Amino acid sequence: MSTQPADKPSPVTPLASPGVTVFLKLAPLTLAVFVAFLTIGLQLPVLPLHLHDALGMDATVIGTVVGAQFAAALLTRAWAGNFADLRGAKRAVVAGFIAASLSGLVYLASLRLLDHPGASVGVLLVGRLLLALGESLIVTGTMSWGIGLVGPQHGGKVMAWLGIAIYAAFGAGAPVGVAISRAYGFAGIATVSLLLPLLALLVVAGLRPLPPSASRRTPFYQVLGAVWVPGMGLALASVGFGVITAFIALLFAARSWGDSALAFSAFGVAFIVARLLFAHLPDQLGGARVALVCVVIEALGQLLIWQADTAAIAYLGAALTGFGYSLAFPGFGVEAMRRAPPQTRGLAMGAYVAFLDLSLGITSPLAGALASARGVAAVYLLGTVAVGLAMVVALQLMRSAAPGEPGR
């Protein structure tokens, strides 16, 4: 909670004293994001199998349904960013939790139509759209809120810690989701997805909001022009993450390797370890330099999954993918933040994260078509190539850094 005097509001609240750490300032937001994103984590290994086994859908439809969330989030980023800047980050976060909770209710409704698979998939798509709206508001709002609490000089740490919460939820949620699905079916997943965002809402309910950072709406294209180059780096790096979330469960099923939940956990644990050990590096060394090293590691992970002939190699590939992708997001994100006007922080973060949505929204259906034509393993060759191209973007950002800036 901010200790700033009420009569002198400011969109940026500095650390109150040397004894108050960035971690403690961000702890409530980090916890709330973790709880809310368990909703997505639970579904990662379960939704593709529900679509395949219960509804009889092929890989192309599965990729489309999974990718619909990211495509819809892309379309709402500009609105969510301006909402956070004009109405306040807390309002954006609260609205996001409510939308995510409603998605669970829609999932429950889809189960009433199992005898009509096409209609059931259509209702599931509505749930995915609501979840996308919620995710967009939560991510944009918490990033803006966090940077407002600790100051833009700690922007890389904000992205790192909130990312830890998100991917810890993915890693922890996957095995929990499998256990819930085995015990209670997809109805159990839908019910928990309804309740978890409401729990997250309770975590932030008592937190003091910061004043809005803008007094008028900023055109999205103005901020997009400032962040598009690091955004493209994020988009290419995110292909590796996208093919794991959408297709690792199908790869394990096709190879008869058993439960894929450990692959999600390997990704999540490696992601968290990288952020715990190295979250300070983008702010200190420069985002582009850190991103370059990380996408090399991520590309190696994708290559291992493509060539894997045992589950153990696939686990290792997932871990390397998670470790590399971990700091690619804040690495490219620090570069985006440096290029955007400070009063458009929420919109800038929304524009930057929109490249993640664009990547995942395109990757899932295209990779689904590739999997149908060439087998599931082929999508990881696609991931290797895309992540390799992110290296080119990181090198370009390093060359364009001003003399004296970190990373040059």
Q: Are 28 and 207 in contact (CB under 8 A)?
A: yes
**C-alpha–C-alpha distance, residues 334 and 359, integer Å:** 19
Residue % of the chain over a pLDDT of 70: 90
Position with higher pLDDT, 208 vs 345: 208
Position with higher pLDDT, 64 vs 94: 94
Q: Are 401 and 316 in contact (CB under 8 A)?
A: no
Identify the pLDDT of residue 9. 41
Q: Are 11 and 213 in contact (CB under 8 A)?
A: yes
Which residues, including other chains, have CB under 8 Å from residue 135's CB and lie 6 or more apart? 37, 40, 69, 73, 96, 100
Q: What is the CATH number of domain 22-400?
A: 1.20.1250.20
Residue labelled with tokens 């998670």: 322
Identify the pLDDT of residue 390. 96
What is the maximum span of the chain, computed from C-alpha positions, in angstroms?
Answer: 64
Q: What's the rounded mean pLDDT across residues 159-185?
A: 85
pLDDT bracket for residue 18 (50, 70, 90): very low
User: Which range, of 46-55, 92-101, 399-408, averages the lowest pLDDT?
Assistant: 399-408
pTM: 0.69
Which tokens sit at 329? Answer: 């997001």
pLDDT for 233 beyond 90? yes
pLDDT for 52 beyond 80? yes
Which tokens sit at 347? Answer: 């919109």
Q: What's the rounded mean pLDDT across residues 134-159?
A: 83
pLDDT for 241 beyond 50? yes
- The single-letter code of the amino acid at 401 is A
Q: How far is CA 230 from the centre of its chain?
A: 16
319-364 pLDDT, tens digit per residue, is: 999 999 988 988 998 888 887 776 676 777 778 878 887 887 788 7
* SS3 state of residue 258: coil
Residue labelled with tokens 């180059």: 229
Identify the pLDDT of residue 214. 64
pLDDT for 14 beyond 50? no
- The single-letter code of the amino acid at 213 is S
Identify the pLDDT of residue 4. 43
Highest mean pLDDT among 53-62, 289-298, 339-348: 289-298
pLDDT bracket for residue 405 (50, 70, 90): low
77-86 pLDDT, tens digit per residue, is: 778 888 888 8
Identify the pLDDT of residue 301. 96
Which tokens sit at 353? Answer: 């994260």
Question: Vertex 401, ends 238 and 329: CA angle to 5°?
Answer: 20
